Structure formats: structure tokens, C-alpha cells
Chain A
Amino acid sequence: MGDRPIQRDFLNQVNQYLDKSLSMDEEQKFLIEMRKDPMLKDMVNKEQTFRNFIKDNVPRRKFSPDLIEGIMRKIDTTS
């Protein structure tokens, strides 16, 4: 990715932006920076794609109604 080495601060900013952990001021500055820097924009896009991929593809387990019923029964008898 690009010619310049990736600085930790640079990646931290990308992560904090995508994880919604920047303050409003920091986010504004970051967005201005991103418009000026194609490498930053490219990195944000890649990291966003990776996060979306994980979120969409981790198989979700489903708790069966029988188990819920069992828990409710147990609660009934213990309380």
C-alpha cells in the first residue's frame, strides 16, 4: 500500500475513525485529511471492507426456544 511506511498514528486514526472513537473535532480533521490524501482514503476503504466482511460472515448461533423454555422453567423453580 503506497510507498511510505505506515505510521502507527496513521493506522490508529483510521481504526478510531471506523470504530467511531474520534471526537467530533478529530473526526472533522480526519475527514479533511482523507479528502486530501488518496492513500488514507484507500486504507479507510480497505479496513471498512474487512470489518464489514467479518461482521457479515461470522456465523450467528441461534438459541433454541426449548432452551429458553428450560431456562424460564428453572427460574420459576428457583425463585
Chain B
Amino acid sequence: MNRNEKEKIFKEEILPYADALLTFGYHLTLYDSSAEDLVQITLEKAWRNIEKYQLGTNAKAWLFTIMRNAFINDYRKKAKQPTVIDIDEAIINTDEENNGPLSSYVDLREEMLENLMGDEITEAINSLAIDNRTAILLCDVEGFTYEEIAKITKVPVGTVRSRLHRARNQLKQKLKEYAENLGYKDNRTNS
């Protein structure tokens, strides 16, 4: 592949995802400037490995995989960030094998969402443990399938499902609290 071909692929297939990478990078690092650094690292790695990218395949999933690896291997090591794990994940994973009633389903009323702003949603998402945050961003914001998320995050599909379940529930709970702070009261009885 000559340089012109590489540049064409990079400009047409890779750069269009820079904004999506920046949004994901922000939610990984929690800082705008760190997110920009992470996108830069990701795009440089993509450029160096562009010959491994197969035209017409899922460039977005390829880039998100590079970014997630870069975050773990480069950024987090440099920033010396401790790994924050969700201690409930083990419980949820075990629980997934059962098919009993759910003790943790949060039923959020539509009206509760009406007055919430982007900042509150960002804050609520950023408060989730990194693995759950990653799952909800990749699925609900970026539209990846369970299988793609499993590949990007290198975990089994069942783990993706349980992380999503947990992330959505925690997010609903947070948003419910924000809505209640804004004066919304859920007057339903537990029916």
C-alpha cells in the first residue's frame, strides 16, 4: 500500500470517527485534554497499523478497540490511575445464571427524564464504574452489538449483558435522584 492509498483510507474511513472517539475518550478519562491525547494516540496507532485494517470492514469497531487498548496500556499506566472495579459485578455475573425475580430493576418514569440536562446525564454516566460506563456508551450511545462490545472489551457476551443491565439500572437510579432533587416526585405505590 503506497502512501497516497494509506492517506485516502485514513481520511475517508478513519477520521470521520474522530468525534465519536473523542466522546468515548472523554468518558474514559473524564478530562477533555486527556481525551484529546487519547484520540491522538489512537489515530497515530491506526495510521501505523492501517495495512492491517481491511477495507469495508467495521472501521469504527477497530478504532474503538485500539482506543480501549490504548487507554489501558498507555494512558492509564502513564496517568497511574488505579483500576476501579465494580465489586457488584461478580454478584451480578453469578446472579445471571439464575432466572428468579430481579431484585434490582429500576422502573424510571418517562416524566422524570423531561427536565434533566446533558450535564446531569454526563455526571451520572461518569459516576458509573469504568466497565459499566464503557458498556453503556458502546451499546446505547454508539450502537455496537453485544458481540462487537465483547470483542472491543475482551470479555464474554454474557459479561457484556450483565454490565449493561447493571449500568442501565445504576444510571436510572442516578437520574431518578437528580429528578427528585429538581422536585419531581414519583407518587406511585409499588404496583
Where the two chains meet, the residues of A that have a C-beta atom closer than 8 Å to any C-beta of B are 1-3, 5-9, 11-12, 15-16, 19-21, 46, 49-51, 53-55, 57-63, 67-68, 70-71, 74-75, 78-79
**Are A21 and B26 in contact (CB-based, < 8 A)?**
no
Q: Does B5 lie at the interface of the complex (its beta carbon under 8 Å from any beta carbon of A)?
A: no
Q: Chain B residues near A58 (CB, 8 Å)?
A: 23, 118, 121-122, 125, 137, 141
Where the two chains meet, the residues of B that have a C-beta atom closer than 8 Å to any C-beta of A are 3, 10, 15, 18-23, 25-26, 32, 35-36, 39-40, 43-44, 47-48, 95-96, 98-102, 105, 107-108, 110, 113, 116, 118-119, 121-122, 125, 136-137, 139-141, 143, 145-146, 161, 164-165, 168, 171-172, 191
Q: What distance in Å separates the Cβ of B163 from its nearest Cβ neighbour in chain A?
A: 12
* A42 to B44 CA separation, bound complex (whole angstroms): 47
* A53 to B125 CA separation, bound complex (whole angstroms): 13
**Can you pick out 22 interface pairs between chain A and chain B where the beta carbons lie within 8 Å of each other?**
A6-B102, A8-B99, A8-B101, A15-B161, A19-B139, A19-B145, A20-B145, A21-B145, A49-B110, A49-B113, A54-B136, A58-B137, A58-B141, A59-B23, A59-B118, A61-B22, A61-B25, A63-B21, A67-B39, A67-B40, A74-B44, A75-B44
* A1 to B188 CA separation, bound complex (whole angstroms): 10
A53 to B, closest residue via Cβ: B113
Q: Chain A residues near B141 (CB, 8 Å)?
A: 54-55, 58
Interface of A is mostly: helix
* A71 to B54 CA separation, bound complex (whole angstroms): 22
The residue in B113, B116, B164 that gathers the most chain A C-beta atoms within 10 A of its C-beta is B113
Q: Chain B residues near A6 (CB, 8 Å)?
A: 101-102, 105
User: A-B pairs with the 5 shortest C-beta distances?
Assistant: A5-B101, A61-B22, A63-B18, A59-B118, A61-B23
Q: Chain A residues near B168 (CB, 8 Å)?
A: 50
Q: Chain A residues near B145 (CB, 8 Å)?
A: 19-21
**Are B19 and A21 in contact (CB-based, < 8 A)?**
no
A-B contacts besides A54-B140, A59-B122, 13 pairs, CB < 8 Å: A8-B95, A11-B102, A21-B145, A46-B108, A46-B110, A50-B108, A50-B168, A54-B121, A58-B121, A63-B21, A63-B36, A68-B15, A78-B44
* A3 to B190 CA separation, bound complex (whole angstroms): 9
B108 to A, closest residue via Cβ: A50
Q: B101: which of A7, A12, A21, A61 is its contact (CB, 8 Å)?
A: A7
